[in-house]
Amino acid sequence: MITIKEAKTKAELKDFIKFSFELYKGNPYWIPPIINDELEGFDKTKNPAFESAEAYFYLAYRDNKIVGKIAAIINWDEVNNQHKKKVRFGWFDVIDDIEVTKALLEKVYELGRKNNLEYTEGPMGFSNLDKVGVLTEGFDQMGTMITWYNYSYYKDHFEQLGFVQEKEYQENIFPFANVVANRDFFLKANDLITKRYQLKALGFTKTKDIMPYVDEMFDVFNNSYANLSSFVAINEVQKAYFKKKYISLINPEYIKFVLDKDGKLIGFSIVMPSFSEALKKANGKLFPFGFYHLLKAKKHSKEVVFYLIGIAPEYQNKGITALIFNEYYHTFKERGIISCVRTPELEENNAIHNLWKNFSPVTNKRRKTYRKTI
């Protein structure tokens, strides 16, 4: 018999998080999160996402053993401002038993029906800065700290339960050698575009110099992706939260901005060193040695992950990324970077795909969100 219980206390939420550690124990591709970071993300008093969203966390038990978990989420900005009658689900993990999946999803349907919503979609988090999608290709590829990993049977469960694909994402990888090979092209393009539009690229060595631009950066981010059907803008409270929590953790030299002739920010890119191996060694804990592994990766990782990139709509398709990649060329060469990883990008987002075409990227993973009328 399957029993579903809502996780409310800190101990229950820890059980919710730790189930994934048990499910993927020994799996070389799953990347464990930092447990305390996950707990903070689920804390209504700390995560500003709860100002415009509500979430409930459920555990599935059989014979007093946890066999699955799911978060049921309503993003009220999405429902009220975009008029999408959608209940989300995320943080989904389950054993290979479709009855457990079915029982967990029923809790999502209940929340949706209670609030007169019409369909569910997932896996996804609170906002566009959270993890998204169930992996459908690339099960033998290492994950990243900003993507979910899952076994291949997840998509089978969804499809057998009547879900259909809503969105598809691709992840790509390319060697830094491909950037080097295009060096002459970007150098010429950089000079041409800088003069034509009177632009200026900014690089940094100190985090304090980045902070005055961060709010404007999120404005560019919101404007860059506003036309995508899945996008929900980052609000002012979330801007402050992400600024405080994440910007200081990123190598300042991995953040690049582009300004127009009036000093207005019109493009940006945030890259992170790969923390995948360090997180596996940390195994969910910063102490006693997890912090050391993460700090070592921050300084010495030879792989980078392109986390966010945005170009103001009026400057898209004008080669602005030539300025950004010209800056990264120097940074990556100095640090001895070997490979570059792109995080999930919507299959339909051709503007973003065109940014990378000169680097001959290889798609090594695909993921989807699934939808069902409730």
Q: pTM value?
A: 0.93
The answer on pLDDT for 317 being more than 80 is: yes
What pLDDT is recorded for position 349?
80
DSSP one-letter string for 298-359:
HHH-SEEEEEEEEE-GGGTTTTTHHHHHHHHHHHHHHHT--EEEEEEEETT-HHHHHHHGGG
What pLDDT is recorded for position 230?
67
Helix (H) or strand (E) holding 78, with range, is: helix 76-81
SS3 category, 69 = strand
pLDDT in tens, 207-231: 999 999 999 999 999 998 887 766 7
pLDDT in tens, 173-200: 999 999 899 888 888 888 999 999 999 9
Residue ranges of the chain assigned to CATH 3.40.630.30: 2-169, 173-366
The per-residue b/e assignment along 182-202, b for 16 or more CB within 10 angstroms, e otherwise, is beeebeebbeebbeebebebb
The answer on pLDDT for 353 being more than 90 is: no
In sequence order, what are the residues at sequence separation of 6 or more whose Cβ sits closer than 8 angstroms to the Cβ of residue 106?
4
* pLDDT bracket for residue 146 (50, 70, 90): very high
As a whole-number percent, the residues of the chain with pLDDT over 90 amount to 80
Residue that has been written with the tokens 């050391």 in this structure = 292
What pLDDT is recorded for position 1?
93
As a whole-number percent, the residues of the chain with pLDDT over 70 amount to 99
Paired tokens of 330? 């120097």
In the predicted model, what is the mean pLDDT of residues 92-113? Answer: 98
The answer on pLDDT for 355 being more than 80 is: no
* pLDDT bracket for residue 84 (50, 70, 90): very high
The answer on pLDDT for 367 being more than 70 is: yes
CATH number of 173-366: 3.40.630.30
CATH pick for 2-169 out of 3.40.50.300, 3.30.200.20, 3.40.630.30, 3.40.50.360: 3.40.630.30
The answer on pLDDT for 136 being more than 90 is: yes
What pLDDT is recorded for position 9?
97
Identify the DSSP state of 140. Answer: T
* pLDDT bracket for residue 332 (50, 70, 90): very high
Q: What is the number of helices (H) and of strands (E) in the chain?
A: 14, 13
Ramachandran angles phi, psi of 205, nearest 5°: -125, -10
